[in-house]
């Protein structure tokens, strides 16, 4: 793989989830050696610092159907601007959360940059959950259960409108991988929007190799390439215990590596994002270390 200039942005946001702690994700992944290990691969690494985020203590949740929507949208707007500037500089955006609601900002930034060149982007979303609730369907009102819906044009206007157009990503270029816990009223959106969903059943039956080959094809069809948004809870809790909402029956460490290796080999990866690392629930930082391993595979690390 060609050497890249990789720029890290941390987004210490925990406004979108129900459990505290994912705001420490960016620190945990830095402590796990992210920068030096990316540099050791032959890339140039820059740490762009953190995007400022409001503390939940300083704000009221307000709308119970979309808690902290205002400050989340504000953070996503800042993040999207930073991501655009990274692309302007010819660098590769690597975003580390924080809860998964930050993906709206990342996707908005990448899609805006490509839209100004009259190109669209695809999206691969790795997750135990579909993240396709809306304020109308969400049982919890936690915005981290809504970002994929927002990226494909459903949800609060404060978030869906951050992109260059509505939707930021065409549903037919969006792929979900690894889901195994979908809310009752969320199902309909998963079924009807045109997003391709590879549940754990499909991963089991087809194998990650075929799933990822197909996913890359779908996300690349008519686009400049794709962003990969990786929620650590997509992995099995045995390998990634430090996540806010663990769900048994996830992908193995090796399957997750294979996914990132395919993304790297496709040549179409436009941005990469690691979310939902919760150091409070982790065991000696192993989930952050796993996230670093995943990033390295996504940036072209091979076994031999
Ligand atoms: Mn998620």
Kindly list the domain boundaries of the chain, sorted by start residue: 5-298
Of 2, 100, 33, give the one whose Cα is nearest residue 292.
33
Catalytic: 14?
Answer: no
The contacts of residue 250 (CB under 8 Å, 6+ apart) are 128, 178, 180, 200, 233, 234, 235, 236, 237, 240
Annotated catalytic residue: which of 14, 23, 131, 236?
A: 131
- pLDDT for 192: 96
Phi, psi of 297 (to 5 degrees): -65, -40
Catalytic: 100?
Answer: yes
- pLDDT for 18: 86
From the CA of 243, how far away is ligand 1's center (Å)?
10
CATH of 5-298, one of 3.30.300.10, 3.40.470.10, 3.90.1300.10, 3.40.800.10: 3.40.800.10
Of 255, 232, 242, give the one whose Cα is nearest residue 286.
242
Annotated catalytic residue: which of 231, 236, 273, 289?
A: 231
Catalytic: 217?
Answer: no
Q: Residue-wise pLDDT tens for the chain (304 aa)?
A: 789 999 999 999 999 998 899 999 999 999 999 999 999 999 999 999 999 998 888 778 889 999 999 999 999 999 999 999 999 999 999 999 999 999 999 999 999 999 999 999 999 999 999 999 999 999 999 999 999 999 999 999 999 999 999 999 999 999 999 999 999 999 999 999 999 999 999 999 999 999 999 999 999 999 999 999 999 999 999 999 999 899 999 999 999 999 999 999 999 999 999 999 999 999 999 999 999 999 999 999 998 8
State how far the Cα of 216 lies from the Cα of 198, in Å rounded to an integer: 13
The contacts of residue 273 (CB under 8 Å, 6+ apart) are 94, 95, 96, 97, 102, 103, 106, 227, 228, 229, 230
- What is the distance in angstroms between the CA of the first residue and the CA of the last residue of the chain? 13
């Amino acid at each position: 793989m060609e050497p890249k200039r990789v720029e890290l942005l941390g987004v210490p946001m925990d406004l979108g989830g129900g459990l505290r702690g994912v705001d420490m994700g960016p620190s945990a992944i830095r402590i796990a050696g992210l920068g030096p290990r990316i540099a050791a691969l032959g890339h140039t690494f820059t740490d762009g610092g953190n995007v400022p985020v409001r503390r939940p203590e300083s704000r009221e949740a307000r709308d119970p159907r979309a808690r902290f929507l205002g400050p989340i949208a504000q953070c996503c707007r800042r993040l999207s601007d930073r991501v655009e500037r990274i692309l302007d500089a010819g660098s590769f955006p690597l975003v580390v959360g924080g809860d998964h609601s930050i993906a709206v900002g990342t996707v908005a930034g990448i899609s805006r940059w490509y839209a100004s060149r009259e190109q669209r982007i695809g999206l691969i979303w790795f997750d135990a959950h579909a993240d396709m609730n809306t304020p109308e369907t969400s049982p919890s009102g936690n915005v981290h259960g809504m970002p994929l819906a927002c990226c494909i044009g459903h949800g609060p206007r404060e978030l869906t409108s951050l992109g260059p157009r509505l939707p930021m990503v065409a549903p037919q270029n969006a792929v979900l991988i690894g889901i195994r816990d979908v809310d009752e009223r969320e199902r309909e959106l998963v079924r009807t929007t045109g997003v391709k969903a590879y549940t754990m059943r499909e991963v089991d039956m087809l194998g990650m190799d075929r799933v990822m080959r197909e996913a890359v094809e779908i996300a690349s069809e008519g686009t400049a390439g794709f962003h990969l948004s990786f929620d650590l809870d997509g992995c099995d809790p045995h390998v990634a215990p430090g996540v806010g909402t663990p769900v048994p029956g996830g992908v193995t460490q090796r399957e997750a590596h294979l996914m990132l290796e395919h993304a790297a080999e496709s040549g179409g990866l436009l941005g990469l994002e690691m979310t939902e690392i919760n150091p409070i629930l982790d065991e000696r930082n192993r989930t952050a270390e796993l996230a670093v391993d995943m990033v390295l595979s996504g940036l072209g690390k091979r076994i031999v």
